[in-house]
Amino acid sequence: MDEQDRTDLTDNTEQTPRSEQNPGQPESAAVNFVMQDIPAGQNHEEVRPASTLQGTYAQHRAQQTPPGSDGRQANYNNIGGYPPQSNTQWRQSTPPPFGGGGQVPPMGPRYGGGMGQPIYPPVKTKSKNAWKVWVALLCIVCLCASVIGGVYLSNSLLQSHSASGDGGEFQFPSTAGGTDGRADVTKLQNSNYETISDIAEDLSLSVVTIITSIESVDMFNMTRSGSALGSGIIIGESGDELYIATNHHVLSDAKSVSVIIGMDDAHAVNAYLKGSDQDTDLAVIYLKKSEIPDEVKEQIKIATLGDSDSLRLGDLSIAIGSPVDKSFGNTVTVGSISGLERTVQFQNDDGTSQSMILLQTDAAINPGNSGGALVNGRGEVVGINNAKLTSTDIEGMGFAIPINTAKPILEQLINEGKIRRPYLGITGVSVEDLQNTSQYNLVYGVYVATVVENGPAAKAGVQANDVIISFNGQPINVFDDLTAAIKELGIGGSAEMEILRGYIEGDAQTVTLQVTIEEKPSSY
């Protein structure tokens, strides 16, 4: 590789102190690695990584029970609202609008309790157009003992960052017209590379191994320590900061984080958290250039980001990362793009579910590959590896976050340290997913299960059991319609919302409410 292609990290600039971090997940063999603690930070946040697995999976954190095949409970979508509680006592509520015995879970004390008792209708069993699978997030953790209990970002790793390292706005260069060449698994149509080996050699300078130090308290109130392994991609720089993209779940629980560049694990460099986002499973950490040894700086190159929208089925895909153990850093596997815009559904520890639109590849992706690069035939990063479907009956189904999806999130994490999202403050479900709606003449809309106290919806007068049928002049047929309308309106926007109310009592009426969208609180 030409010398000018490498990132010039030889100049030491003024250091910008920071701290933070998060961690990874369970693993089989301990990593003998000395971690250096990162200075104490601020702003405690709760993290709820996706962890429910179905089929024959390696267990990850607290195992959730997948919905049963008979009479399964609704998966309520959360728009900045309280997640439905489980594992609590149930009480009867009358009248039950959609069957299911009228069981109502009380709101636990963490969520304020006594805020009104929603009725939770069962979901109809139906075929969806979206292709949904339950997947395991891929960060393997070397633990001295099992991690028990909730998952939180460590206090010592959190410190807010409001801007990029030199105070300027960080932005990725445009990829317009940069990914026109095609490549399949047998031929590279790219003048810059002659073989897959050339791509692997070049990209190995841009993909790093991430080691996180973890502490947890078990059921006997004993503190256990361990480490976790993941991967990351060098994506940019600003001032004294070198930015690395990875997955949010790679960093969950971390007490400290260090990075191995290349294969030289004798020089691990302390890393600091820039920002992390559970909803997109993305995070950015950074290294201080002034702390990187000169001999390590020579092994660094900022990755070129491609255009994931230009991918086609059958295109070459190369996965690069650190599976299983740091001794396997920069492992390269080759396959093809097996699917585009796959809707993959994860279930969180709190019982709520979320979907991600991901790329599918049959390039082998293994625990520890999370946060690593999915590369096209031009040597450009087109995805960030984050999941695989594991079962005794299934092989070769790995997933990656499209880089075009990731770039605006990564930019905002670098510049603001968080993702600002519009917030309505309800949990609900599409009417079409409910049973026994015909007796109430309900055909479309979003059924409101819970309303967050003092949230935008509550302030507007929305009540549990309402059905939202229109928002900002747009008809609301399913939950995704409401989500899109709120996103389009944005934080601070006001809109009229039409609510169907009183249908349970046989006195249905349409109520028009005025709502102002707020920023989603960090606690949700």
Distance CA 489, CA 62 (A): 37
| Start-to-end Cα distance in the chain | 46
Chain position carrying tokens 């009540």: 463
* Numbers of helices and strands, H then E, in the chain: 6, 25
What secondary structure does DSSP assign to 249-292, as a single string? HHHTTEEEEEEEETT-TT-EEEEEEEEEETTTTEEEEEEEGGGS
Distance CA 332, CA 204 (A): 9
Catalytic residue among 202, 277, 281, 433: 281
Distance CA 459, CA 119 (A): 21
Judge whether 328 and 322 are in contact, CB under 8 Å: yes
Distance CA 234, CA 2 (A): 18
Structure tokens at 334: 């080759």
R_g over Cα of the chain: 24
Q: In Å, what is the CA distance from 378 to each residue of 213, 361, 429, 503? A: 35, 17, 43, 58
Q: Which phi and psi (to 5°) does residue 261 adopt?
A: -100, 125
Q: What is the DSSP letter of 255?
A: E
Type and span of the H or E element at 347? strand 331-347
Judge whether 56 and 392 are in contact, CB under 8 Å: yes
Q: Is the dihedral of CA 51, 57, 63, 65 positive or negative?
A: positive
Q: Which amino acid is at 31?
A: V
Active site residue 198: no
Distance CA 223, CA 217 (A): 4
Active site residue 430: no
Structure tokens at 225: 């320590």
Q: Would you state the torsion angle of the CA atoms of residues 430, 435, 439, 440, taken in this order, to the nearest 10 degrees?
A: -30
Active site residue 470: no
Q: Which amino acid is at 196?
A: I
Catalytic residue among 154, 249, 322, 433: 249
Catalytic residue among 370, 466, 470, 481: 370
Structure tokens at 102: 């009228």
Active site residues: 249, 281, 370
